[in-house]
């Protein structure tokens, strides 16, 4: 029942953001040969597509990416991420978000939609409201408010900064912060600052920007109640990973 | 002093002073130094008249035949919309003169379709001016015409040319052939 | 006998009297080999570039265009004055040419000079669908030269146009490999101090703008007449020749700085219209512009024809030599320019950036202009910028913002052509006061790769309506950081360089960042016309307008206009 509200929000924002003139699929059957301007695009990218080796010998496959289709004014975006633990042959996390996205300023977009988590363990469905864009000084930021079908709310904030060592050798630093506004013990989430993930990846643009292999380190940490819950279930409060992977963009 | 020499001096002075026009005013007579272009002729010696029409960036005719020692009257019309010159000399002389003409443009003496005569005659501070009155050339506004009487003292490589900046390079020149 | 003579006379007279010449062009899939890569593309009569079409002023031409592609196509006769139905813009002049069909263009040739043709459909032009047009004058050419060559430049990219635009939409800096790096930071720090460099980076970072944002699409190979630098297009000459080079920039995105080390070039024509000859060492050719130059070559040796891209990310190279196979030294690419705060000014402060002092082109006035316009900016955040460079240089070219990083300089320290040097050889129209002024702000969002006019993209914009017989003064205000070559179809663009009736007549007006440029148009062509930035991906992203010329002497035009409107309505 709680699911309906965020979905309604998403649909409402879709209606608001869709002026009739701007949302038009290609009118000539898919090729662009007969238009002055091009109004719709698609793209797929995987920011993270990597294998992680932890300091406690765990191995995890991780991906985080998105695919979109749409115009300057309105995009449909599928955001997908997951962590597959080798030791348990199980998804530690598995998220799929379906959002619509529309510009709200020169550099920022608003998003609204639904997030469906189906990892090993209890599933959750969330309504999502978020913004993402480019903050001053070239920080890519993405922040979302999630409200689950259990009625629990959480906020995440991701920030990324790219340092160009050369025009192809790029060091990217990332920080993801998760704050729970209420606890959801069933999925291991305690109220308050819940967890952070900090990453440092050194990548090289091998083929344009479509294939950029990288090496890096990632630090995951849980805080407060979330850390306590993890400890009781035999998990760790803090993990260090060495990562190897590639950034992909099509 | 020969034209060539004076122009050389002019070019040198130009280079030295970095922008003061130092030649161009016609002091005495030319031709005694054997530069090959010839010398101002006397009306009584004229054997024939050649009519030359200047259009925007070309002459008609583009070839003129003369005999060594011949004195020719050139009647020159400017039928174009821009200022043009008719100047008899060697390629080197034209090249030197082009630098002087460039100065005239830079100082606003020479506009596209007219000549600022006041400014041209103005004393530039050291007794020099940008007067354009060498006897081997005429500089005409659109619609103007003029005459030159010229004696071709000896056979040499000569061209008649318009040294308004860019015009010669774009092909506004004609050949003087010695029979 | 009499009959015989009259028919002979008729036969002799015909070529002079506007004979209807017929040309055939097929639009074909071709392979394009740049010497660096081979890519499938589109060409004419089996090759890219297509054949040089040589028309004669005064004749009526018939051109049969057969579409051998599996998609719609079109040919636009760039710079030609013709009835709008012949202009070749799908959805505006005509529906386009469907696959397998032949469309017959027919129009009188009313001008002379160097022009070009290209597809106006999708990204067929970047794919190779372009060629040169030479129109011989009815009378004699006003210049003397011994031989002539077309030098058609392009920026061939290994990616398809669709893919390039998609990549730019995903990431506007996708192709920019000239961004400032950590190494640049340290280098600059050691020269200008750490804090000054940091402040500079913070200032640009605060605005999320890049100094290196000069060429959107890098990674191309510059071609001359279809040949890459290694394939070395060569034009031969006899020592002593005057050679006319007809430069055409058919690039999708790239401005070139052109020079021939060792030779001076006398510019005699711009965009097909003769200009008062001006001798230069180097010139910048905007996308879709043409320049004709005459070079006088005295020495029997090879000369490199070198066209560096404005952002120095690539180049085209050819050779002029007494015989094929000879080469001359190929210069190194010069250091890439960087934008300055001056280039940003239009973006930062729209309202105050009326460069009205450019109207009269009074150079002394320009001095005051940068200060007044910069005053409104936040000075505290400008500490890092080089004030001295802005002020001491005076104003080398009034068609760039004072202090702009894009102001060109000749490689040999000599003369670099400016728009201010262009003066018409012969005024085409009586000089008169414009009947009205239309302001067009060139706008965009670089990060999103959205390009527009007055903040509105093509698909959301109303057409611009002009009345037949008026003389419109267009005011371009460039509020972006990119240079836009604005192309009006069907009618001449008279560029205001402050020379009154001698203002040059063009078909592309390049507008540098943070500048205001004026052009006037005699509205003498009824019908519907395209008006757009000629950078392929700016045009496709929305920097495009339809112009409707209402009224006019020809009643039949109205019905055609309606037909075109119905067609256009069906499109969208």
Segment C141-157, tens digit of pLDDT: 999 999 999 999 999 99
Six-digit token string for A17: 């953001």
Residue in C15, C10, C104, C13 with CA at minimum distance from that of residue C55 = C15
ipTM for this prediction: 0.86
Task: Please tell me the distance in Å from B32's CA to the nearest CA on chain C.
Answer: 30
Residue B117 lies in a domain: yes
Residue B58 lies in a domain: yes
Cβ distance of B57 and C143 shorter than 8 Å:
yes
Residue A33 lies in a domain: no
Same domain, C224 and C293: yes
Cβ distance of C277 and B167 shorter than 8 Å:
yes
Residue A20 lies in a domain: no
Same domain, C524 and C440: yes
Among C residues 324-353, those touching chain A with beta carbons less than 8 Å apart: none
Whether A99 has a pLDDT exceeding 60, the answer reads: yes
User: Which pLDDT does position A236 carry in this prediction?
Assistant: 87
Task: Please tell me the distance in Å from B62's CA to the nearest CA on chain C.
Answer: 10
Rounded Cα distance, C160 and C220, in Å:
11
> Between residues C504 and C360, which one has the greater pLDDT?
C504
Same domain, C402 and C466: no
Same domain, C500 and C538: yes
Q: Considering its fold, how many domains does chain B have in total? A: 1
Six-digit token string for A132: 């993402």
Interface present between B and A (3 or more CB pairs within 8 Å): no
Residue in A155, A161, A193 with CA at minimum distance from that of residue A174 = A161
Six-digit token string for B54: 């200047």
Q: Which domain holds residue C199?
A: 179-213+337-410
Six-digit token string for B46: 């004229």
Same domain, C236 and C250: yes
Six-digit token string for C508: 């592309």
* A105 CB within 8 Å of a chain C CB: no
Six-digit token string for B6: 């004076």
Count of C-beta atoms within a 10 Å radius of residue C33? 14
List chain C residues with CB under 8 Å of B83.
none
Same domain, C302 and C166: yes
Hey, which residues does A49 pair with through a beta bridge?
A63
Rounded Cα distance, C10 and C21, in Å:
16
List chain C residues with CB under 8 Å of B56.
142, 274, 425-426
Report pLDDT digits (tens) over B121-149.
776 666 667 777 788 999 999 999 999 99
Rounded Cα distance, B3 and B5, in Å:
5
The secondary element (H helix, E strand) that includes residue C205 is helix C194-207
A124-135 and A139-148 beta bridge pairing: antiparallel
Count of C-beta atoms within a 10 Å radius of residue B44? 7
Same domain, C17 and C162: no
Whether B6 has a pLDDT exceeding 60, the answer reads: no
User: Which pLDDT does position C425 carry in this prediction?
Assistant: 93
Count of C-beta atoms within a 10 Å radius of residue C63? 21
CA distances from B118 to A16, B109, B110 (A): 72, 8, 11
- Mean pLDDT, to the nearest integer, of C272-295? 97
Hey, which residues does C55 pair with through a beta bridge?
C135
- Mean pLDDT, to the nearest integer, of C249-274? 98
Q: Considering its fold, how many domains does chain C have in total? A: 4
**A132-A138-A139 Cα angle (round to 5):** 50
Report pLDDT digits (tens) over A8-50.
444 434 333 333 333 333 333 333 444 667 889 999 999 999 9
The SS3 of residue C302 is: coil
CA distances from A239 to A189, A219, A242, C363, C480 (A): 17, 6, 10, 66, 47
Q: Sheet harboring B48-55: ordered strands across?
A: B39-40, B145-151, B71-78, B48-55, B58-60
Whether B159 has a pLDDT exceeding 70, the answer reads: yes
Residue A222 lies in a domain: yes
User: Which pLDDT does position C304 carry in this prediction?
Assistant: 98
Q: Is the peptide bond before C49 cis (omega within 30 degrees of 0)?
A: yes
Rounded Cα distance, C508 and C487, in Å:
5
Can you give the three-state secondary structure of C517-544, one letter per residue? EEEEEECCCCEEEEEEECCHHHHHHCCE
Q: Considering its fold, how many domains does chain A have in total? A: 1
- Quick check: A101 and A75 in contact, CB under 8 A? yes
Q: Which positions ≥6 away from C141 have C-beta within 8 Å? A: none
Look up residue A89 and give its DSSP letter.
Answer: T
Rounded Cα distance, A41 and C241, in Å:
53
Report pLDDT digits (tens) over C343-379.
988 776 544 434 433 333 333 333 333 333 333 333 3
Which residue, among B58, B162, B170, would best test binding to C if mutated, counting the most C CBs under 10 Å from its CB? B170
**Residue C12: CATH number of its domain:** 2.60.40.420
List chain B residues with CB under 8 Å of C362.
none
**Beta-sheet strands, E only, within C286-435:** 290-296, 303-309, 315-321
Same domain, C224 and C190: no
C102-108 and C113-118 beta bridge pairing: unpaired
Picking from C140, C157, C188, the residue at the C-terminal end of a domain is C140
Residue C426 lies in a domain: no
Residue of chain A whose Cα is closest to the Cα of C545: A36
C505-506 and C471-478 beta bridge pairing: unpaired
**Residue B81: CATH number of its domain:** 2.60.40.420
Six-digit token string for C325: 């196979």
Can you give the three-state secondary structure of chain B, one letter per residue? CCHHHHHHHHHHHHHHHCCCCCCCCCCCCCCCCCCCCCEECCHHHCCEEEEEEEECCEEECCEEEECCCCEEEEEEEECCCCCEEEEEECHHHHHHHHHHHHHHHHCCCECCCCECHHHHHCCCCCCCCCCCCCCCEEEECCCCEEEEEEECCCCCCEEEECCCCCCCCCCCEEEEEEC
Can you give the three-state secondary structure of B20-58, one letter per residue? CCCCCCCCCCCCCCCCCCCEECCHHHCCEEEEEEEECCE
Whether C512 has a pLDDT exceeding 90, the answer reads: yes
Q: Is the peptide bond before C64 cis (omega within 30 degrees of 0)?
A: no
- Quick check: C537 and C168 in contact, CB under 8 A? yes
User: Which pLDDT does position A20 carry in this prediction?
Assistant: 34
Helix boundaries (H) for C244-298: none
Residue of chain A whose Cα is closest to the Cα of C169: A41
Residue in C271, C403, C264 with CA at minimum distance from that of residue C344 = C403
Residue in C155, C175, C160, C167 with CA at minimum distance from that of residue C216 = C175
CA distances from B94 to B91, C243, C309, C476 (A): 5, 20, 35, 42
User: Which pLDDT does position C123 carry in this prediction?
Assistant: 97
Task: With cut-offs at 50, 70 and 90, classify the pLDDT of residue C94.
Answer: very high
Six-digit token string for C261: 């080390």
Residue B69 lies in a domain: yes
- Mean pLDDT, to the nearest integer, of A110-120? 97
Q: Which domain holds residue B146?
A: 3-25+38-178
The SS3 of residue A246 is: strand
User: Which pLDDT does position C554 carry in this prediction?
Assistant: 62
- Quick check: C520 and C496 in contact, CB under 8 A? yes
- Mean pLDDT, to the nearest integer, of C270-276? 97
For all residues of chain A together, what is the average pLDDT? 87
Residue B32 lies in a domain: no
Whether C65 has a pLDDT exceeding 70, the answer reads: yes
Six-digit token string for C562: 């309606």
Alpha-carbon torsion angle C537, C538, C539, C545, nearest 10: 170
C544-550 and C464-467 beta bridge pairing: parallel
* C71 CB within 8 Å of a chain A CB: yes
Which residue, among B108, B171, B172, would best test binding to C if mutated, counting the most C CBs under 10 Å from its CB? B171
Span between the terminal Cα atoms of chain C, in Å: 63
Residue A28 lies in a domain: no
Count of C-beta atoms within a 10 Å radius of residue C102? 12
Residue of chain C whose Cα is closest to the Cα of B55: C142
List chain A residues with CB under 8 Å of C541.
37-38
Rounded Cα distance, B117 and B11, in Å:
22
User: Which pLDDT does position C289 carry in this prediction?
Assistant: 98
Residue A29 lies in a domain: no
Same domain, C37 and C130: yes
User: Which pLDDT does position A235 carry in this prediction?
Assistant: 84
The secondary element (H helix, E strand) that includes residue A16 is helix A4-16
Task: With cut-offs at 50, 70 and 90, classify the pLDDT of residue B104.
Answer: confident
Burial of A119-136, coded b for 16+ CB within 10 Å and e otherwise, reads: beeeebbbbbbbbbbbee
The secondary element (H helix, E strand) that includes residue A134 is strand A124-135
* A57 CB within 8 Å of a chain C CB: no
Return the biggest CA–CA distance within chain B: 46
Q: Which positions ≥6 away from C256 have C-beta within 8 Å? A: C153, C222, C249, C284, C285, C307, C308, C309, C310, C315, C316
Residue of chain B whose Cα is closest to the Cα of C427: B81
Hey, which residues does C224 pair with through a beta bridge?
C153, C227
> Between residues C352 and A227, which one has the greater pLDDT?
A227
Same domain, C36 and C130: yes
Look up residue C299 and give its DSSP letter.
Answer: S
Cβ distance of C122 and A103 shorter than 8 Å:
no
Of B14-28, B59-73, C139-153, give the lowest mean pLDDT range. Answer: B14-28
- Mean pLDDT, to the nearest integer, of B100-114? 86
- Mean pLDDT, to the nearest integer, of C507-530? 97
- Quick check: C251 and C153 in contact, CB under 8 A? yes
Residue C423 lies in a domain: no
């Amino acid at each position: 029942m709680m699911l309906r509200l965020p979905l309604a929000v998403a649909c409402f924002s879709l209606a608001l953001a869709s002026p009739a003139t701007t949302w038009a699929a290609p009118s000539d059957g898919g090729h662009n040969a007969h238009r002055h301007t091009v109004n719709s695009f698609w793209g797929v990218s995987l920011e993270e597509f990597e294998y992680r080796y932890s300091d406690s010998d765990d191995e995890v496959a991780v991906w985080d990416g998105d695919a979109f289709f749409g115009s300057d004014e309105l995009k449909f975006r599928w955001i997908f991420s997951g962590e597959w633990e080798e030791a348990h042959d199980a998804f530690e996390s598995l998220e799929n978000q379906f959002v619509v996205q529309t510009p709200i300023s020169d550099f920022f977009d608003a998003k609204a939609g639904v997030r469906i988590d189906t990892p090993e363990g209890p599933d959750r469905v969330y309504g999502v409201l978020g913004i993402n864009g480019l903050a001053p000084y070239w920080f890519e930021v993405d922040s979302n408010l999630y409200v689950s079908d259990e009625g629990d709310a959480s906020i995440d904030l991701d920030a990324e900064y790219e340092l160009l060592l050369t025009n192809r050798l790029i060091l990217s630093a990332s920080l993801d912060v998760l704050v729970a506004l209420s606890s959801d013990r069933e999925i291991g989430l305690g109220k308050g600052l819940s967890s952070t993930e900090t990453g440092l990846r050194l990548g090289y643009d091998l083929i344009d920007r479509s294939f950029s292999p990288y090496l890096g380190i990632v630090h995951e940490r849980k805080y407060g109640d979330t850390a306590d819950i993890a400890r009781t279930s035999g998990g760790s409060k803090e993990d260090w990973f060495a990562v190897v992977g590639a950034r992909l963009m099509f | 002093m020969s034209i060539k020499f004076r122009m050389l001096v002019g070019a040198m002075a130009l280079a030295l002073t970095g922008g003061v026009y130092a030649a161009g005013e016609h002091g005495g007579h030319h031709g005694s130094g054997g530069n090959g272009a010839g010398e101002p002729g006397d009306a009584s010696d004229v054997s024939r008249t050649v009519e030359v029409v200047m259009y925007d960036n070309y002459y008609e005719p583009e070839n003129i035949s003369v005999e060594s020692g011949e004195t020719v009257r050139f009647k020159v019309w400017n039928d174009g919309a821009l200022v043009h010159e008719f100047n008899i000399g060697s390629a080197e002389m034209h090249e030197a003169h082009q630098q002087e003409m460039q100065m005239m443009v830079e100082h606003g003496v020479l506009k596209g379709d007219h000549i600022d005569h006041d400014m041209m005659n103005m004393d530039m501070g050291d007794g020099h001016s940008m007067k354009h009155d060498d006897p081997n050339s005429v500089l005409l506004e659109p619609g103007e015409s003029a005459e030159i009487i010229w004696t071709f003292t000896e056979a040499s490589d000569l061209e008649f040319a318009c040294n308004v900046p860019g015009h010669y390079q774009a092909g506004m020149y004609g050949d003087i052939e010695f029979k | 006998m009499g009959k015989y003579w009259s028919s002979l006379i008729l036969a002799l007279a015909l070529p002079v009297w506007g004979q209807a010449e017929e040309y055939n062009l097929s639009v074909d899939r071709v392979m394009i080999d740049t010497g660096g890569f081979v890519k499938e593309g589109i060409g004419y009569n089996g090759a890219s570039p297509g054949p040089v079409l040589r028309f004669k002023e005064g004749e009526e031409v018939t051109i049969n265009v057969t579409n051998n592609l599996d998609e719609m196509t079109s040919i636009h006769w760039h710079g030609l004055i013709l009835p709008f139905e012949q202009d070749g813009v799908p959805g505006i002049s005509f529906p386009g040419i469907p696959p397998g069909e032949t469309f017959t263009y027919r129009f009188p040739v009313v001008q002379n000079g160097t022009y070009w043709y290209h597809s106006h459909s999708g990204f067929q032009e970047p794919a190779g669908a372009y060629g040169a047009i030479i129109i011989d004058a009815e009378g004699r050419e006003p210049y003397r030269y011994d031989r002539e060559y077309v030098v058609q430049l392009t920026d061939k990219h290994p990616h398809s146009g669709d893919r390039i635009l998609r990549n730019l939409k995903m990431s506007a800096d996708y192709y920019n490999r000239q961004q400032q790096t950590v190494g640049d930071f340290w280098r600059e720090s050691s020269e200008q101090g750490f804090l000054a460099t940091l402040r500079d980076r913070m200032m640009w970072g605060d605005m999320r703008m890049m100094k290196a944002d000069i060429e959107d699409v890098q990674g191309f190979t510059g071609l001359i007449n279809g040949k890459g630098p290694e394939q070395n297009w060569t034009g031969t000459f006899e020592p002593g020749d005057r050679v006319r080079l007809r430069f055409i920039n058919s690039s999708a995105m790239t401005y070139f700085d052109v020079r021939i080390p060792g030779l001076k070039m006398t510019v005699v024509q711009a965009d097909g219209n003769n200009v008062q000859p001006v001798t230069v060492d180097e010139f910048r050719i905007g996308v879709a512009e043409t320049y004709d130059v005459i070079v006088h070559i005295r020495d029997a040796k090879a000369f490199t024809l070198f066209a560096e891209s404005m952002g120095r990310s690539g180049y085209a190279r050819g050779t002029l030599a007494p015989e094929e196979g000879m080469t001359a030294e190929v210069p190194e690419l010069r250091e890439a320019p960087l934008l300055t705060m001056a280039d940003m000014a239009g973006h930062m402060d729209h309202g105050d950036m009326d460069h009205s002092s450019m109207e009269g082109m009074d150079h002394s006035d320009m001095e005051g202009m940068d200060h007044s316009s910069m005053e409104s900016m936040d000075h505290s955040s400008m500490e890092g910028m080089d004030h001295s460079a802005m002020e001491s240089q005076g104003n080398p070219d009034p068609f760039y913002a004072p202090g702009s990083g894009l102001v060109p300089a000749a490689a040999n320290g000599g003369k670099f052509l400016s728009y201010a040097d262009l003066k018409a050889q012969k005024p085409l129209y009586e000089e008169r006061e414009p009947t009205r002024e239309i302001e067009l702000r060139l706008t965009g969002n670089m990060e999103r790769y959205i390009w527009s006019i007055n903040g509105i993209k093509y698909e959301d914009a109303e057409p611009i309506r002009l009345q037949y017989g008026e003389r419109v003064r267009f005011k371009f205000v460039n509020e972006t950081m990119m240079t836009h070559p604005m192309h009006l179809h069907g009618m001449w663009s008279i560029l205001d360089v402050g020379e009154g009736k001698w203002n040059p007549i063009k078909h592309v007006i390049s507008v540098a960042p943070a500048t205001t440029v004026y052009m006037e148009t005699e509205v003498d062509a009824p019908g519907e016309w395209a008006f757009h930035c000629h950078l392929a991906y700016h045009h496709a992203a929305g920097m495009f307008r339809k112009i409707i010329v209402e009224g006019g002497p020809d009643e039949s035009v109205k019905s055609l206009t309606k037909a075109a409107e119905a067609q256009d309505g069906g499109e969208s």
